[in-house]
A and B are shown apart, each in its own frame.
Chain A
Amino acid sequence: MTTHQFKPDLPPPVATVGVYAWLRANLFSSVPNTLLTLVALYLIWLIVPPLLSWAIFQATWLGDSREQCTPSGACWLFIEQRFGQFMYGYYPPELRWRVDLTVLLAVVGAAPLFVARFTHKLRYGIAFLVLYPILAYCLLSGGMLGLEHVPTTQWGGLMLNLILATVGIAGALPLGILLALGRRSKLPAVRVVCVTFIEFWRGVPLITVLFMASVMLPLFLPEGMSFDKMLRALIGIILFESAYVAEVVRGGMQAIPKGQYEAAAAMALGYWRSMFLVVLPQALKLVIPGLVNTFIALFKDTSLVYIVGLFELLNSVKQASADPKWLGMATEGYVFAALVFWIFCFGMSRYSMHLERKLDTGHKR
């Protein structure tokens, strides 16, 4: 009987670890690789220093008129001076606290939904989804409770993008769920109607939908009945988005194992109850990342109402840079708008990836 004496663990040879080895392995492992590294370095050198110099080092940050701006750098004074317009559009400046309050309420109200320990998420969520829009509408539009009325034509800036996107997705969700159910229905007539509806909206660009909403909707309604411009755009967005939501939800329903449908049927649940009590709760949980991605796409698409003449962020930038006082500041304006969109979209996409990872572990096996 012998006992094996194990050798001690040794550190790897120097040539395979450390900065030198890392550089060798990751940047200069072969001739083509070295060339690629050099090309990348050249590209970075070409783009990054001029960009930084324009945006930061040569830029003008303080002051109150364009005369103070240096010609070689960005003139961020424009953004500072017009920040209110970019955020709120033509919403009266003395009433903008109402918008801030609405956003604050949304953040505070939605916060419990993101706390893992909070147990009544579903009930609370539904109550929030019903009550909050009413409250938000009262606050933003006014005309009651002693609040001054602000017509939607004065709404604008980032606030309008956010309103269109959130109301759009909230409105599209129930319609999308119904369409998804319809598309997976066993009744041929229902299926045909839903498939046609979904494929129609998915086959046309959002712009044509917005055009249609703005020129056709008044035609479709009986005489004397009309919506304002924003509401028309919103209806177009909801119809358009419901088709995309439907496809996302359908994906989730397909991922639910057949056994779940059979189990629901075996418990003598009817169609609606087995859908709403068994299938949809599971499917919707699965598709949350997909819905977040749809929301990101919609948020980017809200910029399109620019084309039908609503004053969302991009249009506000355009209006502001058409002001003779700030002529030629379009670049700064667009860069700022891009940064705003980027922060929102990047943040949400990270959140969606995080959710995906979290849900993934919960659903394997």
Chain B
Amino acid sequence: MQNHTGAPKGSWLTDPRIRAWVFQVVTVVVVIGLGWYLFHNMQVNQQHRGITSGFGFLNNSAGFGIAQHLIDYTEADTYWRVLVIGILNTLLVSVLGIILATVLGFTLGVARLSKNWLINKVATVYIETFRNIPPLLQILFWYFAIFLSLPGPRQAHGMLDMFFVSSRGLNMPAALLAPGFGPFVVAVVVAIVATVLMARWATKRFEQTGQPFHKFWTGLAIMIVVPALAALLFGAPVHWEIPAIRGFNFVGGWVLIPELLAVVLSLSVYTAAFIAEIVRSGIGSVSHGQTEAAHSLGLRNGPTLRKVIIPQAMRVIVPPLTSQYLNLMKNSSLAAAVGYPEMVSLFSGTVLNQTGQAPEVMAITMTVYLAISVSISLLMNAYNKRIALIER
């Protein structure tokens, strides 16, 4: 290389590009070195304890019972099946919790914006109370102080003689397949297709003629009438098995165990408080000028809300809402404290104690949570991108 100016070129030591390279190489070496060191220690320790590492143990028979499993399970089944049950139970709690928390949270958020002073204050008190109490404490409270202190099955609180709340959980009628089930499913599919077609037709007609059409109510009618007709013609799709007392417990029907109820209730009550605040600030972030502009154009409150306020509020609401969903999913691991058989209590608890395969078990548990987290994030990011505002 030639140096035409004659000015000093500077040493390679102070060349920012070389510095950057050196710094990065050092970082990578340190990270890999540390990782290797920890891994090495772990192997040595495992050897000394006489534990063979590897995931082979997953094929062994588990040999313990599980209080709630969504798929068939016996003690002879493998740890693989235990893993699947753990994931399903975690997902069950998360999904139920997310649905309940969303409904409750949006209701409270709107209540928080209400001009009705009393409703507003009730919502405020709720939010300030529940978001400042640790979710674990709420779970323990619901479980030990409420559900376990409910009367036994024989004195259960009955509702309509079909639902029973007792210290054994919530017993409710089970739907068992009946001959009419096939036609019923077909009818439901037909109804869905018809509703979609109707909605499309209605939108098209609205665009062409400006005549509004009650999409929602018509759709609802189709969704009710068609399956009902099928049920009338071909017989009921399911028959209900109503729980009944035999001896000291209920027989028949489905049961939600108290652990599940305690966890779902407390997590949704806790998360709803945060969602309410998110909804409130989301709707509050849409400037009052938008409402005024819509009103000045003659739009009523309904269309103003649906066409102007909500679409704008949603883009403020969705990102923090996502992290609340993620929090709820992660908090579902608190169920371990009351022995609900989800990922942590099944795997990091029972399986770890039985097998002693700590690294493998922990790796599996964390991978499952990471996988669920990433899926929820990706889903919500995609949605967020769709509704994002286009600025210059």
Contact = CB atoms under 8 A, between A and B. Distances in A.
| Most chain A CB inside 10 Å of its own CB: which residue of B115, B132, B141, B348 | B132
A331 B146 CA distance: 8
Contacts of A36: 114, 116, 118-119
A27 B115 CA distance: 8
B97 interface: no
A222 B24 CA distance: 28
Given A26-B115, A207-B333, A330-B144, A190 B27 contact: yes
Contacts of A208: 333, 344, 348, 362, 365-366, 369
Contact of B118 (A37, A207, A318): A37
B369 A193 contact: no
A53 interface: no
A23 to B, nearest CB: 9
B380 to A, nearest CB: 14
B122 interface: yes
B142 to A, nearest CB: 10
B134 A300 contact: yes
B213 to A, nearest CB: 25
Interface residues on B, range: 35 or more
A246 B170 CA distance: 43
Contacts of A306: 136, 337
B362 A189 contact: no
Contacts of A41: 118
Contacts of B183: none
Interface string A294-318: 0010001101101100000010001
A208 B361 CA distance: 11
A223 B48 contact: yes
B7 interface: no
B27 A189 contact: yes
A143 B129 CA distance: 42
B362 A215 contact: yes
B99 interface: no
Given A203-B370, A208-B344, A338-B133, A190 B359 contact: no
B67 interface: no
A245 to B, nearest CB: 15
A351 to B, nearest CB: 13
B13 interface: no
Interface string B189-223: 00000000000000000000000000000000000
Nearest to A182: B27
Nearest to A34: B116
Contacts of A301: 134
B330 A342 contact: no
Interface in A1-28: 25-27
B134 A27 contact: no
Interface in B87-125: 114-119, 122
B336 interface: yes
Contact of B140 (A186, A215, A296, A334): A334
B373 interface: yes
A37 B116 CA distance: 7
B132 A219 contact: no
Contact of A219 (B27, B46, B337, B370): B46
Contacts of B149: 331
Contacts of B365: 208, 211
A307 B144 contact: no
B145 A334 contact: yes
Given A27-B117, A36-B116, A331-B145, A205 B331 contact: yes
Contact of B134 (A190, A335, A341, A349): A341
A148 B366 CA distance: 41
B71 interface: no
Interface string A338-353: 1001100110010000
Contacts of A29: 115-116
B116 A26 contact: yes
A279 interface: no
Contacts of A341: 132-134, 137
Contact of B41 (A189, A219, A346): A219
A286 B100 CA distance: 35
B293 to A, nearest CB: 24
A276 interface: no
A342 B337 contact: no
Nearest to A343: B132
Given A205-B331, A219-B46, A341-B132, A303 B137 contact: yes
Nearest to B16: A271
Given A208-B366, A211-B362, A334-B144, A304 B41 contact: no
A40 interface: yes
Given A208-B366, A215-B352, A341-B137, A304 B344 contact: no
A334 B330 contact: no
Nearest to A194: B27
Contacts of A331: 141, 145, 149
B116 to A, nearest CB: 5
B38, B134, B330, B370 interface centre (most CB from chain A within 10 Å): B134
Given A190-B24, A220-B38, A330-B145, A207 B344 contact: yes
A204 interface: yes
B292 interface: no
B23 interface: yes
A82 to B, nearest CB: 16
A219 B141 CA distance: 35
A189 B369 contact: no
B177 interface: no
A303 B134 contact: yes
B42 interface: yes
Nearest to B362: A212
Given A193-B28, A301-B134, A220 B369 contact: no
16 contacts: A36-B116, A187-B23, A203-B370, A205-B331, A205-B333, A207-B334, A207-B348, A208-B344, A208-B348, A216-B358, A219-B46, A304-B334, A318-B140, A331-B141, A335-B141, A337-B137
Interface of B: 20, 23-25, 27-28, 31, 38, 41-42, 44-46, 48, 114-119, 122, 128-129, 131-138, 140-141, 144-145, 149, 330-334, 336-337, 344, 348, 352, 358-359, 362, 365-366, 369-370, 373-374
Interface of A: 25-27, 29, 33, 36-37, 40-41, 43-44, 186-190, 193, 200, 202-208, 211-212, 215-216, 218-223, 296, 300-301, 303-304, 306-307, 314, 318, 330-331, 334-335, 337-338, 341-342, 345-346, 349
Return the 5 tightest CB-CB contacts between A and B, nearest first. Answer: A189-B24, A345-B132, A26-B117, A205-B330, A300-B134
Given A202-B373, A204-B373, 4 more contacts: A37-B119, A205-B330, A314-B136, A337-B137
